[in-house]
Amino acid sequence: MTLFAQAPQSAPTPQSPDRPSPPATQVPNRATPANAPITISGCLKEEKDVPALKPSAVERAGITNDFVLVDVKMSPSSSVSGIGISTKYEIEGIAEAELQKHVNHQVELTGQIVQAPASAPADDAPDFKATSLKMLSATCGAAQ
């Protein structure tokens, strides 16, 4: 009887290489969807303080402000990597009052890059629709 028990134990060994299914090994290698949330960091500025960007008439009148993240880098905590990002983004999705509190701070934003319409001026910063903001430092680096 022990001979029969040993024979079936050795039989699965040749089959072991056939058991792992290719889809299980391919799952981690799949491309990340284009609209996946990313985490970026940079220095938060008012648009009027960013060279090469032109505030609208409404912004110049002080009715509203746009905020721009400059010197943008992919955050180490981002779940997405290996994509090209802009060096600056106009921030959407976070209340103006909250953004105002973090002007000239180093911040981390999580959200999605918004596809610019073809009619957008070339000098506009692309939009980033943020879902969260985290202050990293009360000051921006010297290069800001």
Signed CA dihedral, 46, 51, 53, 57: sign only: positive
Q: How far, in Å, CA of 58 to CA of 140, rounded?
A: 27
Question: For every one of its 144 residues, what pLDDT tens digit does the chain have, with 9 covering 90 and above?
Answer: 444 444 444 444 444 445 444 433 333 333 445 578 999 999 999 988 888 777 666 555 566 788 999 999 998 888 887 678 889 999 999 999 999 999 999 999 999 998 777 776 666 789 999 999 999 999 997 544
Q: Contact at 8 Å (CB) between 103 and 44?
A: yes
Task: Find residue 93's DSSP bridge partners.
Answer: none
